[in-house]
Amino acid sequence: MNLIIFGPPGSGKGTYATRLQNQLGIPAIATGDIFRETIKQGTPTGKKVEKYLKSGQLVPDEIVIEVLKERINREDCKKGFILDGFPRTIEQAKALDKITKINAIINLQVPDHIITARLSSRRICKNCGAIYNLLNLKPKKDGICDKCGGELYQREDDKEDVIKDRIEIYKKQTQPILEYYKNKVPFVNFKCENIDMPPEKAVEQILEGLRKIGNRKN
């Protein structure tokens, strides 16, 4: 299945996508990761991407699509993929329609208070980048990374006032895209009402929704 996972910052997109790729045997593809990979390879497209990123500009849609097309044409995507972080605009969604068919949308619905609690509790190691959470993934020693002994810090965009802005931006950007796909593609709507829900339980519910879609198609 070719899937897209949507969800606000702090909804668990990356966590769930990683677990889903292991369960389904298809890769999770984040645009940020493929940008970095393309730049590292030194391809002509990678050099274009690097130029835009270094100058602080958004990478134009036609280049994003070019990079994505190269990625989903690889052997490991023969059985499908999970897109994380794309599309971000209606124009990107329309461009995506021209290069592949999307079979289902995974829509993570998480209340604002849970997102705020999760993100405001996140801490990151200045040295190795390891991620902790003061709610459910605490370091053994306060403010110190378990892995390398580095100092933990809170990102500026993980502070409460910034989180609220990030949520509002996500809603404004994503709502039109969800509307675009609403009558085109089946949705798996996953609602998280409990901040302590284990990722494995969430993923099992998402997989159950995907199985129902698969059964309807057969």
Is 50 part of a structural domain of the chain?
Answer: no
Indicate the number of domains in the chain. Answer: 1
Residue 41 lies in a domain: no
Whole-model pTM? 0.85
pLDDT at 125: 94
**pLDDT tens, residue by residue, 162-215:** 999 999 989 998 889 999 999 899 999 999 988 888 888 999 999 999 999 877
pLDDT by residue (tens digit) across 28-77? 999 888 988 889 998 888 899 999 888 888 889 999 999 999 999 999 99
pLDDT band at 99; cut points 50, 70, 90: very high
Dist. CA 153–CA 107, nearest whole Å: 30
Quick check: is 46 in a domain? no
List 155, 159, 164, 212, catalytic entry: 155
- Torsion from C-alpha of 171, 176, 177, 183, nearest 10 degrees: 130
Q: For residue 158, is it within any domain?
A: yes
Catalytic residue among 13, 19, 48, 118: 13
155 part of the active site: yes
Mean residue pLDDT across the chain: 91
CA Rg value for the chain? 18
Residue 40 domain flag: no
- Percent of the chain at pLDDT above 70? 99
- What's the CATH code of the domain at 152? 3.40.50.300
Q: pLDDT at position 57, please?
A: 81
**pLDDT reported for residue 141:** 96
Tell me whether residue 188 is in a domain. Answer: yes
36 is catalytic: no
The distance in angstroms from the start CA to the end CA of the chain is 13
Residue 58: inside a domain, yes or no?
Answer: no
Residue 153 forms part of a structural domain: yes
d(CA 31, CA 46): 13
Q: Active-site residue 71, yes or no?
A: no
Domain range for 94: 2-26+79-217
Active site residue 138: no
**Longest alpha-carbon distance in the chain:** 53
Residue 106's pLDDT band (boundaries 50, 70, 90)?
Answer: very high
Mean pLDDT of the region 120-133: 92
Q: Is 166 a catalytic residue?
A: yes
Q: From start to end of the chain, where are the E strands?
A: 2-6, 28-30, 81-84, 104-109, 122-125, 131-133, 152-153, 187-191
For residue 144, give the 3-state DSSP assignment.
Answer: strand
How far is Cα 155 from Cα 160, in angstroms, rounded to an integer? 11
Structure tokens at 74: 């690889």
- Say which range, 26-30, 78-82, 131-135, 148-152, has the weakest mean pLDDT: 131-135
